[in-house]
């Protein structure tokens, strides 16, 4: 029997039925059968932290819908998700659209109660990137608050280590600044891939570099990036590692549905290949953020995010 | 306590959470509490019956999503749905995308088991108009197969009494032909409103007229239609009545997301006003059909359908 | 046998096949059978005359495609087009995208050769409104250059009697100015319906009024317009009459696909009703202009134009 | 010489140039010539107050762009704006995307400095409806803080007198609650037109009624609304009056680009007609709010808002 | 004189005229001049076989329109199509939207009569991938039913060798299963390129591998795929070869207009380069399938398909 | 102090305010402070020269808007634009939509007066490619009419050296033919990159080759193009060089908003990388052309063009 019970395509085609992420059962249904949960996926419908274009609050809904067409067997990884993992949809975390901070507190509290701490890993679907802080915090706590912080593999066009914007320290430009300050992550075991474009000034790149983050700008990625990532991963060994993926890492042609697009990024093939190359890491949590459905076209951004969700889950199978 | 328990907006804003129709609980959850169900809403994700533009299979999903923003108190009717009715989402009926007939059989069988026959009325969300036959059949059977058939109030640009198209007798051009033949409905107690545009020939209008259907073309509606409808309704008295609403009754400016659009129909205000004028009928079932999300713009068609769903439910509150 | 041979829906569904207007045969095919042609429909893919948003050069192509779903029997008029009229598609007139004037000369020359002068009436599908001049000229010549000029029923948000713009006297702001000057039309037998919105100054309205045009602004239409039109029509008696319909007469909600949209116009139902009310006029030619597909949504503008095309043809059946 | 100097269409077609509202000069340029300003138009790019779909922060930009095609002579009002009024664009007010309250304070402070208090009236372009509070406050103060408060003519699908949402008292559901509490407006001289659809409960309608607001639901408008408005206006006499127009008053077919759309509202023709009927009121300020460009199609919402802006200005000419 | 007579751009710009594929003459017109036909292009407006998103029935119409802008001289191949080949548009094959099987029978019968068997090669434009079976069958028969079956070069995200779905053996998941069973193609001389993403289970990949198909998953393509293809082609020598191209082989950023999109595929440049590399094969037929216009954006999918059509024709010139 | 004074993000977020290119001050404002201008950016809202799809007249407006999100520090180049360069927005040049030639004359005259000839370089934002002639001419004159003409680096899918189309010698197919004839540019120091797709015949490629243009077709670019460009650049040494960038050089997936799209071009990453590789050239002027906003999706084309604008400016910093 599969570890995750998916609805039969015989009675419920992929365009039918109430949507859960990847069509997996809801957390309560799995819990009612006393089955363990390897991964709890939950949405964070918040864009309280954005600095430019809002709307990522509709991201979880769009990714749930696009993920209906994702099937359990991953061709490239050669893994059958449902047979190897017990996955459940935990619904959406509570949010306060008028407050970043209250939203983050609520999300962390919600996430801390999902499944069983050591067993159940958390995959958060944003929402804007500010929510990564909350999922990182919940993950770090579930892992017993490791002293050095978690290792992080970070895909993004932006470094997200700005101190504050318009007086707000918890917005989507700042999650990794806060996470470093609070010891949730270890900047010396963090790699940021895909950084590019323009900034008001180079301060947040400098902050990252000064704290030891391995920074691979996208132009550098095109010249040896996969090798640099492989070297980083091999240094990690079995260190507890978190993946945070901002879809604006990918070029706007592939992910137009995002709030701060930057021309000149990954193709989706390059990005998926990079993620698949991470097999073997000790993955303890992840997030996929910044899907903004109102800017999407033909749901290609949400479709990419849904595929990415499956690939990240597959890494641990 | 409300008859329908809706999620609190404090923890779950209307852009958050797994979508059910109007955010009502699922049938199983209501059943597990041994509470009665006044209305079971279910989707029929089928466009197996279309003759022109397919895609209505995605209709239930789109209406579920658009209905998240519909709140329980209806301003014009002065009715609080949740306080007056127990409503539940039954999910989607099984379908066979390759066969109209098998789909209709499956839908009727599925619908026949929802709730308790006399207590629970059925609101089907299409899918194409062919599915009206199945919901009519299930409703007619639940009401004890009344000899004369059900009365019908039918909003549509098309009469849908064509005998067959490309050899198919169960497609979306034919549901009322079949329902008349099978005694499910009483053509002499049927009114069709909004008919307009062009036809291959006038045969299906003639069929309807010959069987006694009251036919109000849209140009006639604009000259005294509401009065004609009121007169029809008053003749019905407490006769068991079914409402079938094809969104192409409404002009494509208001409902672009449909498969066989015809210029020159209702405004949404006119259509909603007509439906609200039906208060007092003995409503025993209904369907809303032909929402085609891929042709919709800014979800205005789905938003209209969701409002209409609430108004139809309100008629019985 | 029908006067127009349409393809069988049995082998060619309405989403199939090479598109001609309303699926009628091409002029050469009808001619090769020595059958007369009552109406020749032709496209004028020109936006050489626009002052604001270009793209109407793609109008004929879009209307051809949208008209595939228009069937031959008109419900409101009770007329079967194919049985009553021989209609043919003459393809597109030659144009010079770099010159209004050369385009108009080419169109008039092309149109003058279609079918047989007295027998065959011309329905031109624009293209911008400048092309009305050419079709008017060809029509006027075919009718034997009647001294007083043709009567005109004109639906539009703009009067189109500006003398010149940026030095161009043949652009889409000027066709009726030129047609009046050249005696093609009789301003005292011209009615302009739907005028509204804003102007640089009231000069072109004043020009029209001074020449005797009956001007029914859209706010006036809403207060007794149909009666005013009926009175105008009854004064026309059997005068040879031309219909020119700019889709921007209709509100942008119904016809977003146009180059100079003005909020606050006809609903499509109102517009079609007005056209259908013209039964009985001596219709000798017509045009439908300013469909701009790149601004259309879900083809609702083209669908309206296609329906309108059928209704105008029906007036003469 | 015109009171407002517009760029010549000879060198700057309406698709050319840096956009200001209606192509009027910027406030600094008018001020540098020591010319008075009758109306200062300014944008408020804020959606900090929204409860559902964000994005109205891009509203001012979209309306500026759509207003390029609006010309100075108003056909229905028979008024030439540039000849009768000195109008200037004041740019956008400062905002804090993370705080409703700070945004409102900043907007009110900004607005209070525009032009000369008595001479210069304020037209604010939102942004979400919360910003009406700030423009009302600035207007009320410029008029010398009239004891009874301003009269208000309010077009909207929602009453916007909710006390608070998610702990926020300054959001877009609450501006008129706050304005009544603070004495900026006189609820007994306030009319709210177009209210419709659904609510969590009828509390905010009840609040309005209890405070004496004249409430014309949209279904009531369709049965005698214009007469009710005329009666209200005649009671106002020369009372200082403010117009607040939420574009969701209009049906989503005409104004899809808005954040909380409700099916079944005004056509744009009906709405413009209602506004034009206000000629003669003592208009002292206005706002147009809730344009959400990401949901707009072919800019029809922004085009409507731009036309509305011109009509409101015309009322005072 | 050119072998294909194209309309002069002097009188018919590329946005003008009734659309045929690549503006080539219709089959009847070429036949009436007793000229041979090297390639007959025909549409198959069928989506009767789809398992997810329907709408490919509108594919031929969209490709005809997009192909208007394709010119006869191919820059990369250095070939002038019109001078080297006689190409004609055969219109659309008959279809039955309610039956895969009847559609395939009708298409094969239609195709079998086009041109002259040995001389005229068939290029089918879908429609969903199920129609490949019919064009393969007609091609195989025209070539004298070669015992080993045709060689096949297959671009796709999916293997399409599923046995059946919902009881249907002729749907778009199964064409190559059926073609292998019926001996139309030689699996040992078949290469499938671009396979990727997710499956219910690996059964259809296994079927293909077990029958000897050369399977190049997209991640494998990125590591030496062009070399593998070149090796395959050199092994083919002059074997009669068929190309089948499902546009979902290409990434959804380039081909969003398709029904079962999979993130992470070819760029259009990579795909066109792969096709151009096939010069020298003995090409006897081809199809391009799964263009779904309702999901396309700015016609980029149809534009790609039109370019691909020209490149495939060029291979044989 | 920065050489360019940008608005503070504290009071004017990037979604706020009247739009100028990159938020730089207007030319008049810089001039009024007697500050020099290194680069004057101006729009040319003209599509008078197009041969296929018009609408590029709205290009400058769209690029101004998209450029609001571009910040002054360029990550890849490591350059802070505002600190290194004085940049100003000169507004839009005058155009005559009815005449290519008059438009070009007007643009060249306008451009010739901007800033100070030697100091101020010109960056023109189209508009169709015909306008490159005018900016080239103005640049050439400002540089003292160098005898050999300017060197040119040309990115494009088309060569644009056609002699004439429909009698027009100044359209967008011809700017480099005219510029070569008039000695503005040196074809032997011109490189054209990205040429691909289809042509009526190879004449314009032949013209270019015969005049010594280095032609790098896109399929050639993929095999060593960057090296070829580097070699070309090193040959240029400090020759005065002009960059002309037609966004259709980039694949339609990245730049759908253009009038003559050709499948199979640059990714945006490849294109930006190529431009950044030009650091060190003696850049004296540039243009970015053929942005057609009505065909754009989610503004990705305009966003690319805005990024490109910043990168080109950065080359000279």
pLDDT in tens, B191-202: 999 999 999 999
- pLDDT band of residue E170 (cuts 50, 70, 90) is very high
Residue E2 has a pLDDT of 84
What whole-number distance in Å separates Cα of residue C220 and Cα of residue C218?
5
Question: Block means of pLDDT (10 residues each) for chain A, length 317 residues?
Answer: 83 92 95 94 98 98 98 97 97 97 97 94 98 98 96 98 96 98 98 98 96 98 96 96 98 98 98 97 98 98 98 96
Examine residue B113 and state whether it is found in any structural domain, yes or no.
yes
Residue F9 has a pLDDT of 78
DSSP one-letter string for F36-79: --SEEEEEE---TT-SS---GGGHHHHHHHHGGG--SEETTTTE
Structural domain of B164:
21-315
> Residue B92: beta bridge partners?
B43
CB spacing of D307 vs C197 below 8 angstroms:
yes
What whole-number distance in Å separates Cα of residue E71 and Cα of residue E22?
8
Average pLDDT, chain E: 96
Give the tokens for residue F164: 């004439």
pLDDT in tens, B100-118: 999 999 999 999 999 998 8
Contacts of D131 (CB under 8 A, 6+ apart): D44, D46, D49, D103, D104, D107, D124, D175, D287, D289
Residue A10 has a CB neighbour count (10 Å cut-off) of 11
Residue B1 has a pLDDT of 60
| Lowest-pLDDT choice from A203-207, B277-281, C10-14, F250-254 | C10-14
Residue E223 has a pLDDT of 94
CB spacing of A198 vs F273 below 8 angstroms:
no
pLDDT in tens, D135-165: 999 999 999 999 999 999 999 999 999 999 9
Min CA distance, C5 vs chain F (Å)? 34
Residue B161 has a CB neighbour count (10 Å cut-off) of 25
- pLDDT band of residue F1 (cuts 50, 70, 90) is low
Residues of E with CB under 8 A from a CB of F: 9-10, 13-15, 69-76, 78, 80, 251, 253-254, 267-269, 271-273, 276, 297-298, 300, 303-304, 307-308, 310
- pLDDT band of residue D303 (cuts 50, 70, 90) is very high
Examine residue B69 and state whether it is found in any structural domain, yes or no.
yes
B217, B263, B297: residue with CB nearest C297:
B297
Question: Helix (H, G, I), strand (E, B), or coil: what is residue E264?
Answer: coil
How do C198-199 and D73-74 pair as beta strands?
antiparallel
Residues of E with CB under 8 A from a CB of B: 47-48, 50-51, 53-55, 57-58, 96-98, 100, 166-168, 171, 294-295
Using a CB-CB distance cutoff of 8 angstroms, which residues of chain E are in contact with residue A254? 251-253, 263
Distances (CA, A) of F141 to D172, F130, F131, F150: 56, 18, 16, 10
Q: Give the percent of chain E with pLDDT over 70.
A: 100
pLDDT in tens, E270-293: 999 999 999 999 999 999 999 999
CB spacing of B100 vs E100 below 8 angstroms:
no
CB pairs under 8 A between A and E: 93
pLDDT in tens, D52-104: 999 999 999 999 999 999 999 999 999 999 999 999 999 999 999 999 999 99
What whole-number distance in Å separates Cα of residue D214 and Cα of residue B228?
33
Using a CB-CB distance cutoff of 8 angstroms, which residues of chain E are in contact with residue F202? 73, 75, 78
Examine residue C280 and state whether it is found in any structural domain, yes or no.
yes
Residue A76 has a pLDDT of 98
What whole-number distance in Å separates Cα of residue F88 and Cα of residue F270?
28
Examine residue F39 and state whether it is found in any structural domain, yes or no.
yes
What whole-number distance in Å separates Cα of residue E186 and Cα of residue C250?
59
Mean pLDDT of E51-78: 98
Residue F283 has pLDDT above 80, yes or no: yes
Using a CB-CB distance cutoff of 8 angstroms, which residues of chain B are in contact with residue D217? 75-76
Please state the domain count of chain B: 1
Whose CA is closest to C14, among F160, F289, B198? B198
Average pLDDT, chain F: 96
The sheet that has E240-246: what strands, in order across it? E87-92, E39-44, E121-126, E282-289, E240-246, E150-155, E185-195, E214-217
Examine residue E186 and state whether it is found in any structural domain, yes or no.
yes
Residue D258 has a CB neighbour count (10 Å cut-off) of 29
Using a CB-CB distance cutoff of 8 angstroms, which residues of chain C are in contact with residue F51? 97
Nearest CA in chain F to A167: F10
The residue with tokens 């509401």 is B226
CB spacing of D97 vs A50 below 8 angstroms:
yes
| Lowest-pLDDT choice from A138-142, D29-33, D249-253, E218-222 | D29-33
Residue A1 has a pLDDT of 60
CB spacing of F251 vs E268 below 8 angstroms:
yes
User: Containing H/E element for B137?
Assistant: helix B131-142
pLDDT in tens, E141-165: 999 999 999 999 999 999 999 999 9
Examine residue A9 and state whether it is found in any structural domain, yes or no.
no
pTM beyond cutoff 0.90 = yes
CB spacing of D198 vs B72 below 8 angstroms:
yes
pLDDT in tens, D8-55: 877 789 999 999 999 999 999 999 989 999 999 999 999 999 999 999
What whole-number distance in Å separates Cα of residue C110 and Cα of residue A290?
56
Q: Which of C22, C63, C67, C76 to substitute to test the interface with B, most B CBs within 10 Å? A: C76
Using a CB-CB distance cutoff of 8 angstroms, which residues of chain F are in contact with residue D61? 15-16, 19, 65
Task: Find out whether B89 and A85 touch, Cβ atoms under 8 Å.
Answer: no
What whole-number distance in Å separates Cα of residue C189 and Cα of residue C148?
9
Q: What is the CATH number of the domain that holds E211?
A: 3.40.800.10
The residue with tokens 């365009």 is A15
Using a CB-CB distance cutoff of 8 angstroms, which residues of chain B are in contact with residue C273? 219, 222, 264
Using a CB-CB distance cutoff of 8 angstroms, which residues of chain D are in contact with residue A59? none
Residues of chain C with pLDDT under 70: 1
Mean pLDDT of B271-285: 97
Residue B117 has a pLDDT of 87
Question: Helix (H, G, I), strand (E, B), or coil: what is residue E251?
Answer: coil
């Amino acid at each position: 029997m599969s570890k995750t019970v998916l609805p039969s395509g015989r009675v419920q085609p992929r365009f039918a039925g109430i949507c859960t992420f990847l069509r997996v059962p809801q957390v309560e249904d799995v819990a009612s059968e006393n089955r363990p949960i390897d991964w709890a996926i939950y949405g964070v419908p918040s864009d309280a932290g954005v600095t430019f274009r809002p709307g990522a609050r509709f991201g979880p809904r769009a990714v749930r819908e696009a993920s209906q067409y994702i099937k359990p067997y991953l061709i490239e990884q050669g893994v059958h998700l449902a047979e190897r993992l017990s996955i459940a949809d935990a619904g959406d975390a509570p949010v306060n659209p008028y407050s970043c901070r209250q939203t983050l507190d609520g999300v962390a509290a919600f996430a801390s109660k999902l499944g069983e701490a050591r067993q159940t890993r958390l995959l958060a679907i944003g929402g804007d990137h500010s929510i990564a802080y909350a999922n990182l915090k919940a993950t770090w706590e579930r892992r017993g608050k490791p002293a050095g912080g978690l290792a992080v593999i970070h895909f993004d066009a932006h470094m997200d280590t700005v101190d504050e914007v318009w007086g707000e320290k918890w917005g989507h430009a700042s999650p990794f600044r806060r996470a470093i300050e609070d010891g949730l992550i270890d900047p010396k075991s963090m790699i940021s891939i895909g950084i590019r474009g323009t900034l008001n000034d180079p301060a947040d790149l400098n902050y990252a570099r000064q704290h030891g983050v391995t920074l691979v700008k996208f132009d550098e990625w095109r010249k040896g990036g996969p090798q640099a990532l492989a070297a980083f991963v091999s240094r990690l060994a079995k260190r507890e590692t978190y993946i945070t993926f901002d879809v604006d890492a990918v070029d706007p042609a592939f992910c137009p549905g995002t709030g701060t697009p930057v021309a000149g990024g990954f193709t989706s093939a390059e990005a998926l290949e990079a993620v698949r190359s991470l097999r073997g890491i000790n993955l303890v949590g992840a997030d996929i953020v910044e899907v903004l459905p109102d800017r999407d076209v033909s749901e290609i951004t949400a479709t990419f995010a849904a595929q990415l969700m499956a690939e990240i889950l597959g890494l641990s199978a």
